[in-house]
């Protein structure tokens, strides 16, 4: 009789939230018979090495930042991610922390729907190493508080030169982050297009541009002052005048586990943004009279 193959599950938890570390320990103890486990903090996740290989599931416990870091570990290996929310908004999370201990069984049983989210990659200047982003790539001013000139081209066609604080290239996942704060549109999670949105632009296509998945976007710095390119907010590289940042869709994608159908995204969006919905709003107003 062949031996049953057990799952291998990893947990990446927030570094400084004690409750996240405690929940990670409680999950490994409750479900010790269901899986082999490894755990680490976000700070330790970059040094996982061989530990993550052959992992079947990564559980991220924290806010969207923790989930974002976990995606960078899991996506290149095609490992699905289950986000457990201990943050304020948790756009990418799936379940709340208080529901995780009793609710994990359903996901371990393989019931969840996979949601594939497009990533983008950036080649910065002469560095041939691609840097992958789930949320966004941002080219903007460095230490000096002044506008920078950034020339934009799409598929080798010059479009415009932005005079702005920065230029953001965002995915659908990133559309609910920095881009949303800039007044950009919200995109459905599995949308493969990406968005170009300026920060504090002096005129020049302030509304942004939606770019088809197969396109290549190049941002060229046209200012002598220092600039920085940030990838998902935790990798930064200096950019000098004349250097380019090339951005296109990545060969990696992040897979998130979901209980609800795709159209549940809209309810989740309005709930997480604290927006009232039609009938609920009328009931509340009637009660206030």
155, 105: one domain: no
Say if residue 240 is in the same domain as residue 214. yes
- pLDDT value at residue 278: 52
| DSSP 8-state symbol, 203 | S
Computed over its alpha carbons, how large is the radius of gyration of the chain? 21
Q: Is 51 domain-assigned?
A: yes
Are the C-beta atoms of 80 and 255 separated by less than 8 Å?
Answer: yes
Q: Are residues 123 and 63 part of one domain?
A: no
Alpha-carbon gap, residue 90 to 112, rounded angstroms: 19
Residue 17 sits in the same domain as residue 75:
yes
Judgement on whether residues 63 and 145 belong to the same structural domain of the protein: no
Structural domain includes residue 258: no
How many Å apart are CA 252 and CA 76, to the nearest integer? 6
Please check whether residues 162 and 221 belong to one and the same domain.
yes
Distance CA 136, CA 121 (A): 9
Same domain, 85 and 148: no
Catalytic one of 56, 64, 127, 286:
64
If asked whether residues 62 and 144 sit together in one domain, one would say no
Of the candidates 93, 111, 129, which is a domain's last residue? Answer: 111
What is the distance between the alpha carbons of residues 184 and 13, in angstroms, rounded to a whole number? 30
Number of H-type helices and E-type strands within the chain: 6, 17
Contact 12, 70 (CB under 8 A): yes
CATH of the domain at 209: 2.60.200.30
The answer to whether position 147 is within a domain reads yes
Of 111, 132, 151, which residue sits at a domain end? 111
Do 149 and 201 reside in the same domain of the chain?
Answer: yes
20 occurs within a structural domain: yes
Could you give the CA distance from residue 257 to residue 80 in angstroms, rounded to a whole number?
7
- Clarify whether residues 32 and 66 are in a common domain: yes
| 287 found inside a domain | no
CB atoms within 10 A of CB 270: 13
- For Cα atoms 4, 36, 22, give the angle at the middle one, nearest 5 degrees: 145
State the pLDDT at residue 285: 36
97: left (phi over 0), alpha (psi -120 to 50) or beta: alpha
Number of domains making up the chain: 2
102 and 135 in a single domain? The answer is: no
Note if 64 is an active site residue: yes
Could you give the CA distance from residue 101 to residue 95 in angstroms, rounded to a whole number?
10
Between CA 240 and CA 9 the distance in angstroms is 43
CATH number of the domain to which 96 belongs: 3.40.50.10330
Identify whether 242 is part of a domain. yes
> Where would I find the beta strands (DSSP E) of the chain?
7-13, 35-41, 57-62, 81-85, 95-96, 113-124, 131-133, 136-141, 148-154, 157-164, 166-170, 194-199, 209-211, 217-221, 227-231, 235-239, 244-258
- Is 282 inside a domain boundary? no
Residue pair 277/270 in contact (Cβ under 8 Å)? The answer is yes
> Residue 273's pLDDT is what?
75
Please tell me whether residues 100 and 137 are part of one structural domain.
Answer: no
pLDDT at 266: 81
| Sites in the chain below the pLDDT cut of 50 | 1-4, 279-289
Q: Which domain holds residue 79?
A: 7-111
Q: Tell me whether residue 267 is in a domain.
A: no
* CA 191 – CA 188 distance, rounded (Å): 5
């Amino acid at each position: 009789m062949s031996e049953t193959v057990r799952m291998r599950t990893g947990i990446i938890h927030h570094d400084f939230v004690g409750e996240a570390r405690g929940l990670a320990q409680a999950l490994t103890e409750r479900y010790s018979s269901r899986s082999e486990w490894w755990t680490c903090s976000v700070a330790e996740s970059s040094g996982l090495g061989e530990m993550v290989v052959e992992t079947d599931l990564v559980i991220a416990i924290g806010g969207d930042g923790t989930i974002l870091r976990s995606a960078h570990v899991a996506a290149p290996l095609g490992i699905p991610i289950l986000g457990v929310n201990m943050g304020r908004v948790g756009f990418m999370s799936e379940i709340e922390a208080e529901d995780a201990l009793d609710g994990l069984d359903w996901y371990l049983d393989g019931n969840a729907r996979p949601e594939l989210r497009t990533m983008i990659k950036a080649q910065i200047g002469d560095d041939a190493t691609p840097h992958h982003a789930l949320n966004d790539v941002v080219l903007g001013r460095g230490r000096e508080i002044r506008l920078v000139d950034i020339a934009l081209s799409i598929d080798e066609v010059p479009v415009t030169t932005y005079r702005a604080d920065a230029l953001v290239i965002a995915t659908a996942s990133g559309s609910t982050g920095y881009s949303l704060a800039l007044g950009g549109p919200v995109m459905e999670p599995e949308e493969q297009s990406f968005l170009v949105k300026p920060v504090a632009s002096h005129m020049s296509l302030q509304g942004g541009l939606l770019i088809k998945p197969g396109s290549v976007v190049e941002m060229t710095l046209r200012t002598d002052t220092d600039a920085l390119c940030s990838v998902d907010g935790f990798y930064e590289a200096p950019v000098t005048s004349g250097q380019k940042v090339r951005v296109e869709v990545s060969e990696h994608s992040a897979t998130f586990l979901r209980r609800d159908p795709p159209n549940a995204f809209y309810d989740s969006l309005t709930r997480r943004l604290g927006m009232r919905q039609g009938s609920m709003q009328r009931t509340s107003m009637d009660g206030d009279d």
